[in-house]
A and B are shown apart, each in its own frame.
Chain A
Amino acid sequence: MTRSLLNVDARTAKRNASEKRFRGYGLAAIFVAVLALIMLMTSILTAGLSAFQQTYITIDVALPEDQLDKSGVRDPAAMAKVTTIRYAKVLKQALLAQLEAEGITTTLSDKDVAKILSKEAAATVRSRVLANPDLIGTTIRIELLASGRIDGFYKGRVTMASAALDGNTSPEALQLVEQLAERGWVETKFNWAFLTAPDASDQRPEAAGLGVAILGSLYMMFVVLFLALPIGVAASVYLEEFAPKNRWTDIIEVNIANLAAVPSIVYGILGLAIFINFAQLNQSSPLVGGLVLTLMTLPTIIISTRAALKSVPPSIRDAALGVGASKMQSVFHHVLPLAAPGILTGTIIGLAQALGETAPLLLIGMVAFVREYPAAYTSDAGLFGEASTALPVQVFNWTQRADPAFVERASGAIITLLVFLLFMNAIAIYLRRRFERRW
């Protein structure tokens, strides 16, 4: 008797069940991954998006000559001697005058009223005056940073209840600002300064920005790109196309694979010993950071470049050699162009890895507090030799500060870093699609 195809036998049923189970596992794995991603994004975005908003208070500031330029001759050197303490007093007067003009009364002391402005505000006014001494004697309308607590109030981080327990602000101060806001003097808007301003001290999180960190990371990426790409590609082309296959090249190959797995902090120690202690390059400089990251990125680039070269079919090499191309011509005219998308993808992924690297940079001093924008070149410090910091290190730095406003800054910095990484990966994908050729 033949078996009917209409009945599923036990064996087949078992096989089908196991396949179903396997698909279930796969779906579960994907679900966990997506869930983790969503959790990560939600946590970072809710904590960090507010960093891109900032609260400003507009004030009409009278700039009295008798306080800011006693000599009256507008001598820049003499004016520069007037410190922010003096400007803070001028600001306090201006703020009190504004409250009076608006008919706002408060039980707060004058000192506490002044606290609704950021400590940075005095410096902002001072640099505005020093840049244009003719302002003295006039009244200027200027937008100034609100203090971190006031800013936090508009972002929901500070509430009346928490302000009552807070030594740095009070419910009265919040009510005062609300009254100012009703009259249109307070505005919360997009915070360009977060992307351009340098870091700020512990007491003024509202002024802290990523300008120096972005610049430092950018410089390092230049160093890495211009060192790691040529060295990595040259090494891979030589190893893959020209080197004899013997024990030595095997050893080199194994070691390159091992280097790719070396913890990044080890490269930091290496950089400290070689580039700073031995070669006497500047500590904290993007040059040293870039060199360390180059060492770290090289194995990634070499491995992906070799994979790209390997994937070029040997028939193309045969074809080139067959019409009498030299080895080098066959590599440079045919193999490298075909491998280019893979090489570029590997390089960009290597760069993205380097962009997010923190540990080695801590060891070479890039964790320092830097407020001066580093110049790309100075005759003193050389190319990329000025002290700087980097995006991931800035995140690390801010997470260690006490003020809760820095939590928001750190998450904002992470978002910025992620946007850069996404952008670089998008370029990698685009290049691969654009230049991928079929044969």
Chain B
Amino acid sequence: MTSKISAQNVQVFYGDNHAIKDVNVEIADHEVTAFIGPSGCGKSTFLRTINRMNDTIDICRVTGDIRIDGEDIYDPKVDPVQLRAKVGMVFQKPNPFPKSIYDNVAYGPKIHGLAQDKAALDEIVENALRKAALWNEAKDRLDAPGTGLSGGQQQRLCIARAIATAPEVLLMDEPCSALDPIATAQVEELIDELRQSFSVVIVTHSMQQAARVSQKTAFFHLGNLVEFDDTDKIFTNPEDPRTESYISGRIG
């Protein structure tokens, strides 16, 4: 099976701090890949290299080779704006724009010129909200401010916003850490459905969540990718002793 995202010898530095050390990983299409590991192990940092969100941090430097569909995304010819339309992102804290629900979802398609007219835009918004399982709750109040929704609804709105630009990869940085168990269950269910359309990469602190939603799991520790394998294998029969310690709760 060919991989969607291929990372070779990736190193990330924050100033003098070597945050990611020589990571190699192959992420497949239509699969959910979970990154787990203790706080500060670099899993979020690595996630943010995939859509070059780290570019916004002045002191951050990335070396190595990250390819999406075989194209080097750190090539000088690549515009990060186009990259981020192709690689959507959902953040840890729900961060809807302080605008209406409709405008939140429509913003991405608008700036990328994905809709020719109002009707097409309406359709994109509806589809995105449906995929994010928010349509039924939001269809009667598309003009209401997105910030007025509950936490779980806000996060699903952010997912709708991310998928409205028709990305091919969806990055999720601890999307459920600010949510209660019911909202978490809804988002997890959603992630499983999103797998049909996208390659999903999710960073999570919860090992149960990684076990529930992902097909592949990567365990990071102190900036190293310790182990990367099928989720079942990682949780039942890890090869590295550090992985075993972590999933059994002895470290981290």
Contact = CB atoms under 8 A, between A and B. Distances in A.
Contact of B98 (A244, A321, A326, A437): A437
B97 A319 contact: yes
Contacts of A326: 81
Given A323-B162, A323-B165, A438-B147, A318 B53 contact: yes
Contacts of B6: none
A308 interface: no
Interface in A384-439: 437-439
A323 B107 contact: yes
A322 B93 contact: no
A318 B57 CA distance: 11
B161 interface: yes
A379 interface: no
Contacts, number: 68
A324 B165 CA distance: 9
A172 to B, nearest CB: 75
B88 A439 contact: no
B108 interface: yes
Interface in B94-145: 95-98, 107-108, 111-112
A322 B58 contact: no
A407 B93 CA distance: 62
Contacts of A321: 53, 56, 84
Nearest to B163: A323
B210 interface: no
Nearest to A439: B98
B53 A322 contact: yes
Given A244-B58, A323-B108, A438 B98 contact: yes
B51 interface: yes
A334 B103 CA distance: 12
B246 interface: no
Contacts of B108: 323-325
B53 A325 contact: no
B111 A318 contact: no
A329 B110 CA distance: 12
Given A244-B58, A245-B58, A338-B98, A324 B84 contact: yes
A324 B112 contact: yes
Nearest to B145: A437
A315 interface: yes
A316 interface: yes
Contacts of A325: 81, 107-108, 111
B235 interface: no
A89 interface: no
B84 A439 contact: no
Contact of A329 (B83, B88, B111, B161): B111
Contacts of A333: 107, 111
B91 interface: yes
Interface in B190-212: none
Nearest to B84: A324
Given A316-B95, A334-B97, A437-B98, A322 B84 contact: yes
B98 A323 contact: no
Nearest to A323: B108
B89 interface: yes
Contact of B91 (A315, A334, A438): A315
Nearest to B93: A315
B176 interface: no
Contact of B162 (A244, A315, A322, A439): A322
A318 B48 CA distance: 11
A315 B90 CA distance: 11
Contacts of A338: 98
B95 A315 contact: yes
B81 A322 contact: no
Contacts of A315: 91, 93, 95
Contacts of B12: none
Contacts of B218: none
Given A319-B91, A319-B158, A439-B147, A324 B81 contact: yes
Interface string B151-173: 00000001001101100000000
Interface string B64-76: 0000000000000
A315 B146 CA distance: 14
Nearest to B79: A326
A333 B164 CA distance: 18
Given A244-B58, A326-B81, A437-B98, A318 B107 contact: no
- Most chain B CB within 10 A, of A317, A321, A334, is at A321
A315 B58 CA distance: 17
Contacts of A439: 95, 98, 147
A324 to B, nearest CB: 4
B96 A323 contact: no
Given A334-B97, A438-B147, A439-B147, A322 B56 contact: no
B85 interface: yes
A319 B82 CA distance: 15
A318 B44 CA distance: 14
Most buried by B among A323, A326, A334: A323
Contacts of B89: 318, 322
Nearest to B58: A245
3 closest residue pairs by CB, A with B: A324-B85, A315-B95, A323-B108
Interface of A: 244-245, 313, 315-326, 329, 333-334, 338, 437-439
5 contacts: A245-B58, A321-B56, A324-B83, A324-B112, A325-B107
Interface of B: 51, 53, 56, 58, 81-85, 88-91, 93, 95-98, 107-108, 111-112, 147, 158, 161-162, 164-165
